[in-house]
Structure 1
Amino acid sequence: MDAVIHLAGASIAGRFTPAHRAAVRDSRIGPTRALAELAGRTPDGPKVFVSASAIGYYGPDRGDEMLDESAARGDGFLAGLVADWEQATAGAAAAGLRVVNVRTGLVQSPRGGTLRLFHPLFAAGLGGRLGDGRMWQSWIGIDDLVDVYHRALYDAGLSGPVNAVAPEPVRNAEYAKTLARVLHRPVLLPVPGFGPRLLLGEDGATELAEASQRLYPAALLGRGHRFRHPTLEPALRHLLGT
């Protein structure tokens, strides 16, 4: 075995109840630590340990600050969770494995994530921005995300945290306009602020639906990485076949 790619973890989507927080945390920290330590102590074992991570590390609202991998950790439940999740890979790093923590942004795929939720609404002509639409959305197409994991396997110069996001983040209002244009539909009234709170609760709405993170993939671009779809509209047209 040459490498380990570790992706497992309960979905963060849902109301941030104590049970949900525990499930999200327990499915990440302990299993990641056990797997990293096992990889590190296996004779003639893997030389690379690639672990999923998340842009929640930067906290739910950093304003217009452009965040690369050197940016400080933010506040909130997800920021603490991601910091501990990445620390759980320390056993592999201590054993000399090259460790890559893939801080994944909002993955665009019609089969999952936010696009799966928004597509039917916008296709029915019912889509709109969330609230004032000013929150930054750091997105990445599913094909580009696969490329990031592929690069993490073979690029010996890539290690530590890696922002897996396209180089052109957009505000939520621009995302809504772009998706509507791709689907040839109007952009209607914004989704009121109480909508996400009904579904996710106060903390869930703040850390998920209303999160604003303007990220830059400095580590990838520093290695000469080329994105298939660095801008949003071509990515959505490719994914939705329009």
Structure 2
Amino acid sequence: MGIHAEHTLPFDRDTVWRWHTRPGAVTRLTPGFLPMRVAREAASIRSGTTVFSLPAGQQWVARHLDSGYVAGHQFTDVAANQPVRAATQWRHVHRFEDAGQGTLLIDDVSARIPEPLLRPAWAYRQRQLLEDLKFIASLPRTAPKTVAMTGSSGLVGTHLRAQLTTAGHTVIPLVRGAAGPGERHWEMDNPSPDLLRGVDAVVHLAGETIMGRFTDEKKRKIQDSRVEPTRKLARLAADSGVEVFVGASAVGYYGTDAGSFPHTEADGPGEGFLAEVCEAWEEAARVEGLRTVHIRTGLALSGAGGLLPVLKASVNAGLTAQFGAGDFWMSWVALDDLTDFYVRALLDTTVSGPVNATSPEPVTNAEMSAALAALLHRPNLLAIPAFGPKLLLGDEGAHELALADQRVVPTVAAERGWQMRYPTLEAALRHELGREQLLVSQG
């Protein structure tokens, strides 16, 4: 049992090998739809150890074998869980061979797990590696950057950090707690004058989660965690000689009733609490002399967290992902496309101001529900009453979040010719939910 999978990449062996040796590679290759996350990454694929967290506090320990390492050609990892169980009798040999001007990547896995169960994960890995290498090749040629990042442990931050490091850049997490190796302590209300010493760029993702009931206290935390901390960090960035400040924002900028026509970056703010917060958030980041980009994020679709697993669970339970009539617009973006937006904003010196990070094809809630049901082979018959989200989020929270009508398109990206990995909903869902096919498979 196990799996043998191989596919040819249109990149030379040194490029493909070097990508695998960099920090973040294992994070980029771990499918979000699997119940495992990288807790600690190996310092070396020659002899290091990677630890994955599993449900119920369990762990999967993968140890790289020096005896199975051939620089530029092969590395090997085995499950080192103690005690060894049948499911963790695992040996994975990664081989890299020249194939014309490209590279043949061969994965041989010996395990007690049947191939059909491993196939979705390997299809994801193959697609992820190919798309990451293609994306890196499309970027402007620049010297490696040192990027300071807030919110680096969140869903977007985790994957963006890994994407930057596999592309050869250095990421310094700015953390509010005790700083670990490679991190710096960030005091939100009073950042240290030398916080951004030696930093080329700042990515600012941190902020109180918007999920939850919109009580007065919750709304205060949402606003207070964004506006003033952003203002102080942006001013410090300008004073420290940072080249660019890329800050998170959201399509909530356009208001809760923004579905009557496709909104572009040229449109002004709408009405509602989150529209006001986004406008103030973006304004706080603007400092004279500092290139600033505001990433107005749509609904980020990831199998690892956020909205998609909730909608999937509802469909799998025999309900749907449709609220009421389902006629409101949802402007979504695949997680990998979202992190691509951030990387391009960092490295393309001609980009400034707002950038809509959404798919060019927004869908209605009813269309989202139908697409999920079709992919999961479930019925799409019983809509969830609109009062359902209100029970969980309250009237204002439901109107601002679950039932927000927002039709937004990425005009800046389109004008610049930025290619998206998953421009259609079906393509994004297939990748994030493990419904793709192996590129090439034998065994």
* TM-score bracket for the superposition, by shorter chain length: over 0.9
**Equivalent residue for 2:220?**
22
- The yes-or-no answer on 1:238 pairing with 2:438 is no
- Contact (CA 8 Å) 1:129, 1:191: kept in 2 or not? yes
- The yes-or-no answer on 1:191 pairing with 2:384 is yes
- The yes-or-no answer on 1:167 pairing with 2:356 is no
CA distance in 2, matches of 1:89, 1:104: 16
CA distance in 2, matches of 1:145, 1:73: 21
How far did 1:106 drift?
Answer: 0.2
1:14-45 per-residue CA deviation (whole Å, 9 max, x = no partner) reads 11100000011111011111100100111xx3
How far did 1:125 drift?
Answer: 2.5
Tell me which amino acid in the other structure corresponds to 2:286: A
CA distance in 2, matches of 1:4, 1:141: 23
**Equivalent residue for 2:322?**
129
Structure 1: 4+ residue segments shifted above 3 A: none
Q: Secondary structure at the match of 1:88?
A: helix
CA distance in 1, matches of 2:321, 2:333: 20
How far did 1:65 drift?
Answer: 1.1
* Alignment gaps of 5+ in structure 1: none
**Equivalent residue for 1:216?**
409
CA distance in 2, matches of 1:135, 1:185: 22
- The yes-or-no answer on 1:81 pairing with 2:286 is no
Q: Secondary structure at the match of 1:23?
A: helix
Q: Secondary structure at the match of 1:176?
A: helix
Q: Secondary structure at the match of 1:209?
A: coil
Q: Greater Rg, structure 1 or structure 2?
A: 2
Structure 1 stretch displaced more, 147-156 or 119-128: 119-128
How far did 1:220 drift?
Answer: 0.9
Within a 5 Å distance, the mapping from 1:1-242 to structure 2 comes to 1-42=199-240, 45-91=241-287, 94=288, 96-242=289-435
Q: Secondary structure at the match of 1:9?
A: coil
Q: Secondary structure at the match of 1:8?
A: coil
CA distance in 2, matches of 1:188, 1:19: 38
Tell me which amino acid in the other structure corresponds to 2:218: H
Q: Secondary structure at the match of 2:339?
A: helix
- Contact (CA 8 Å) 1:128, 1:189: kept in 2 or not? no
How far did 1:151 drift?
Answer: 0.3
How far did 1:113 drift?
Answer: 1.6
CA distance in 2, matches of 1:7, 1:129: 29
1:155-206 per-residue CA deviation (whole Å, 9 max, x = no partner) reads 1121100000000000000000001111111113111011111111111111
- Contact (CA 8 Å) 1:158, 1:223: kept in 2 or not? no
- Contact (CA 8 Å) 1:100, 1:160: kept in 2 or not? yes
Q: Higher strand share goes to which structure?
A: 2
1:81-123 per-residue CA deviation (whole Å, 9 max, x = no partner) reads 00000001123xx1x1210000000000112221021111212
CA distance in 1, matches of 2:303, 2:286: 34
Overall identity of the aligned pairs, in %: 52
* Alignment gaps of 5+ in structure 2: 1-198, 436-443
CA distance in 2, matches of 1:2, 1:223: 23
CA distance in 2, matches of 1:26, 1:221: 34
1:107-145 per-residue CA deviation (whole Å, 9 max, x = no partner) reads 001122210211112123222411110000000000101
TM-score by length of 2: 0.53
- Contact (CA 8 Å) 1:157, 1:223: kept in 2 or not? no
Tell me which amino acid in the other structure corresponds to 2:216: P
Q: Higher helix share goes to which structure?
A: 1
Against the structure 1 CA distance between its residues 54 and 128, is the aligned structure 2 distance closer, same or farther, given a 3 Å change threshold? closer
CA distance in 2, matches of 1:198, 1:121: 16
Tell me which amino acid in the other structure corresponds to 1:76: G
CA distance in 1, matches of 2:334, 2:243: 28
CA distance in 2, matches of 1:128, 1:105: 17
RMSD between aligned residues: 0.9
Tell me which amino acid in the other structure corresponds to 1:11: T
TM-score by length of 1: 0.96
